[in-house]
Amino acid sequence: MEYKSIPPSPQHFKPRVIIHGGAGNITPATLPPHLYTRYRESLLTIITKTHHYMVTPDDYFSLPSSLSTATYAVTLLEDNPLFNAGHGAVFTRDGYNELEASIMVSHPGSYPKRGVGVTGLRHIRNPILLAKAILEHGHDDLLGRPSQYSSPSLSENMLNVPSAQGHTLIHGLAAEQLAKQYSLEIVPQSYFYTQTRWEEHTRALDREKQTPGKHLATYSEEEYLPQGTVGAVTLDQQGVITVATSTGGLTNKLTGRIGDTPSVGAGFWAEEWAEEGDPSGYAELRYRPGPAVVISVALKGLMADCLATPFKYNPVYNTPKLVTTRSMAVSGTGNGDSFLRTAAARTVGAMARFGGVSSVEAVSKVAGPGGELEKSAGDRWGLTGEGAGGIIGIEAVEVQDGKGKTLEMRCEILQAFNCGGMFRAWVDRRSHAHFRVWQKDQQTPYGYESEDIVGIDLREAANKGEIVSS
């Protein structure tokens, strides 16, 4: 009888998720208690629903991909009028809602475009679904294959848009025509109207007009004018990380302005790479062998008198080869023009990949206090909202030996901001959901931030979408 060894089961990452709902001049003075409660309940509800979706297997016992999970989370944010995306999008100076969205995966797999951005949308209910559809059809589009969704004939008001072709960033009417071909939901412009956003729009314009040179219609020290985005970063079992971001842009932006959200490398980025050793961790030290016997200095001297001089040379240890695969993805929120000027998201990736630092450190150097975003504002920092923002993300690391055996798998949630606050929620390793606006352990009128978030165990949630209070 022939016996065959059973191959070990493949190791998987534990799925993770973090979401954000914008950043900027968010302080206890600009965020009254009733609004704080609404943001808290909304983000905890969305993170709870997303976590449930993320860990629920399909009919074939497979968990959703990070692409599906990130898109799911952002559609919930787009449908919530509290946030500056979709139904809660801000207005341009001319009173229009112009939406943008993007999506990107750390490993191309079957998505060779890797990243896609759409902008100038006025009729697409969920812009993130359009970005996802363009990404999913990228393989055929790059090869020039006929799209099953293309219109057989062009009407008088239609553009010649057979597919997304090889494009990464698509604007306006062409993007909306693709959405129709993909059968995405089309809505009238009135769908995006909310009274709150309209009042913010008109109030800021009036303030700018009454005090020329002192106030901008895009920023206020007295209130939180949305200038950020919504976003989600998710990790699936296979180690693929997806970033999905959506926004209405800056309050009172110029009509036609394109921000960082759809611009690859500015408001979003994702990538994967391999490197020798484990420069951003401790595996290299953990798995380096030491000598079997340690000889004291005195004994070395005695042996040297009796024997040849082997101690003239340092022993060379055979260190096992380590290969580390690192994946990361980040989503930015805040003043998009500053993200564009600094290529903020790509800068985080470049620091992590070529600087030999963890993504945690890289995010802090870009979006943390005193980081690249803040520096980009120069002496205008704190006056106009320029440079203000934050970044969320995920880094996943797998360390293997020279034979391909996995020695370690680890994951980190990334978050840093340099402004008043950043709305965010995430699920930790223990399946506990967390919500936070300000810095950890910062004392506020609502108590210490760290005390307000603990004890939300999603494994004990009885129903899908249930709000679990701490």
pLDDT tens-digit readout, 105-156: 999 888 999 999 999 999 999 999 999 999 999 998 998 887 776 555 556 6
Q: How far is CA 248 from CA 16, 22, 244, 254, 268, in A?
A: 26, 11, 14, 12, 16
Angle at 72 between CA 70 and CA 73, to 5 degrees: 65
CA pair distance 235, 21, nearest whole angstrom: 19
- Annotated binding-site residue? 356: no
The parts of the chain modelled with pLDDT lower than 50 are 1-9, 283-290, 292-294, 311, 451-455, 461-470
- Annotated binding-site residue? 260: yes
pLDDT for position 5 = 41
- Annotated binding-site residue? 231: no
- Annotated binding-site residue? 334: yes
pLDDT for position 451 = 39
- 216: nearest Cα among 248, 247, 249, 251: 251
pLDDT for position 439 = 87
**Residues with catalytic roles:** 229
Class of residue 338 by CB neighbours under 10 A (exposed 0-12, middle 13-18, buried 19+): buried
CA pair distance 209, 341, nearest whole angstrom: 28
- Annotated binding-site residue? 259: yes
What is the value of pTM for the model shown?
Answer: 0.85
pLDDT for position 304 = 57
Is residue 332 within 8 Å of residue 389, measured between CB atoms?
yes
Q: What are the start-end ranges of the E strands in 320-360?
A: 322-334
Which position has the token pair 């606050």? 421
pLDDT for position 278 = 75
- For 186-230, what is each residue's pLDDT tens digit? 999 999 999 999 998 998 888 888 877 666 655 556 666 666 799
